[in-house]
Amino acid sequence: MEIDTDTVVEERRVIINNVMCLLTDPDGAPLGAPMYLPQNIVSVEKALPIVCQPQAVFRIRPVSRCSATISGHGEAVLSVSFSPDGRQLASGSGDTTVRFWDLGTQTPMYTCTGHKNWVLCIEWSPDGKYLASGSKSGELICWDPQTGKQSGNALTGHKKWITGISWEPVHLNAPCRRFVSASKDGDARIWDVSLKKCIVLSGHTLAVTCVKWGGDGVIYTGSQDCTIKVWETTQGKLIRELKGHAHWVNSLALSTEYVLRTGAFDHTGKHYSSPEEMKKVALERYKSMRGNAPERLVSGSDDFTMYLWEPFVNKHPKTRMTGHQQLVNHVYFSPDGQWIASASFDKSVKIWNGNTGKFVTAFRGHVGPVYRISWSADSRLLLSGSKDSTLKVWDIRTRKLKQDLPGHADEVFSVDWSPDGEKVASGGKDKVLKLWMG
């Protein structure tokens, strides 16, 4: 019997007059039930085509050890983020600085001063050319990662602290130059770093808590007024309002988020010579990821619930997702869009079907509220960081804890798994940045 060499076949034996084929993954775990094929159908001289569709074209090893503990920040590390190509790491801190770190030597590369207050959030442009940071004072600054220098003046206009930043996808505009910020002051603002222009998105009646720039060219904002609003981006007009939550909306996530974040960069590490080439590749990746289905949005709330939306199809939610016993702090789609993970103050992480919103499993192990989650690039592993000072890696297939990562001396505020899957970064109240490897 001739079998495709790319397929792992663990057992082939004749039982009575049947041929049994058992397909396994590289770890030896069965991929579905054994196939029993009558021998009169499959002779030893006949080629049997077996078609396998892999979940991912590469496999991520679970991180298992702390490779570096890097001090430098003078206060809590509030945000950590890898660049879209996974080669650089940035952090924002309560000491008012943004820092870029050399992942080769695991030492500080640049310390960026300019903010007057805590740096609450940072976000890389999908082409890797900028890092935007937002502070407790309400100003935003764009940084050049190659030099560590400020790119233009601070962007001012928000009256209260910044709660979120999201860049325009590179497949819509290359090189990247526009991003949107959300603020406690109730507004979101679109900034053009080249033209130094700003469009104000006004309409929420309370603080805007989260913001996402979607792959189809609209902006989603979640607010303490219990609504999610959808905006067009040329004039900042309100397109649609999504209602359903009974309390604050805390977190939003898109089914296409991984390809929006990484743009044209994939696991091969290829770099591009022009913005046009980058835009073309990013568009191909986005279309491939989205397929014929609409972009999906998930929201997590203080009302303990989540909603799954298809905003371009219906203003009503597709599914209401219940099960958490306390507020939902963070929601995140897996890179392949098949799963949704949610982190809650009830100390659990829950997994849901990314297409239907149906509950799949709950991960329990943290002994404090779970603040942040991050997926491995192959969608097989999930990372969580908690108030209990630990990180944990969960296995989606076995639905069990894969790795417990203690090491921080206090609450873990931020975690990120690099887009290339090689490393994890974490930061927290103990003022140190930790790097973890497989």
d(CA 275, CA 288): 20
Q: Does residue 100 or residue 61 have the better pLDDT? A: 100
The answer to whether 24 and 30 are in contact (CB under 8 A) is: yes
Lowest mean pLDDT among 11-25, 160-174, 244-258, 369-383: 11-25
Question: Given pLDDT bands bounded at 50, 70 and 90, which one contains residue 43?
Answer: low
Q: Residue 51 above 90 pLDDT? A: no
- DSSP secondary structure string for all residues of 296-360: PEEEEETTS-EEEE-TTT-SS-SEEE---SS-EEEEEE-TTSSEEEEEETTSEEEEEETTT--EE
**Averaged pLDDT for residues 364-381:** 98
**Averaged pLDDT for residues 192-221:** 97
Q: Residue 2 above 60 pLDDT? A: no
d(CA 334, CA 321): 17
**Averaged pLDDT for residues 160-169:** 98
Helix (H, G, I), strand (E, B) or coil at 288: helix
Any idea what the Cα angle at residue 92 is, between residues 116 and 370, rounded to 5°?
A: 125
pLDDT in tens, 63-100: 999 999 999 999 999 999 999 999 999 999 999 999 99
**Would you list the domain boundaries of the chain?**
1-53, 65-437
Q: Residue 182 above 60 pLDDT? A: yes
Percentage of the residues of the chain whose pLDDT score is greater than 90: 80
Q: Residue 374 above 50 pLDDT? A: yes
Q: Which residues contact 8 (CB under 8 A, 6 or more apart)?
A: 23, 24, 25, 26
Lowest mean pLDDT among 25-34, 231-240, 327-336, 394-403: 25-34
d(CA 189, CA 36): 60
Q: Residue 30 above 90 pLDDT? A: no
pLDDT in the model for residue 26: 55
**Averaged pLDDT for residues 252-262:** 97
Residue with the two structure tokens 């959808």: 230
Question: Given pLDDT bands bounded at 50, 70 and 90, which one contains residue 298?
Answer: very high
Q: Mean pLDDT in the chain?
A: 91
CATH superfamily of 65-437: YVTN repeat-like/Quinoprotein amine dehydrogenase (2.130.10.10)
pLDDT in the model for residue 61: 85
d(CA 247, CA 311): 20
Q: Which amino acid, one-letter code, is at 351?
A: I
Give me the phi and psi of 63, to 5 degrees please: -70, 145
Strands 328-333 and 319-321: unpaired
Q: Residue 6 above 50 pLDDT? A: no
Q: Does residue 24 or residue 215 have the better pLDDT? A: 215
Nearest Cα neighbor of 331 from 294, 295, 357 is 357
pLDDT in the model for residue 268: 77
Report the number of secondary-structure helices (H) and strands (E) in the chain: 2, 34
Q: Residue 28 above 80 pLDDT? A: no
pLDDT in tens, 120-131: 999 999 999 999
Lowest mean pLDDT among 9-18, 244-253, 419-428: 9-18
pLDDT in the model for residue 7: 44
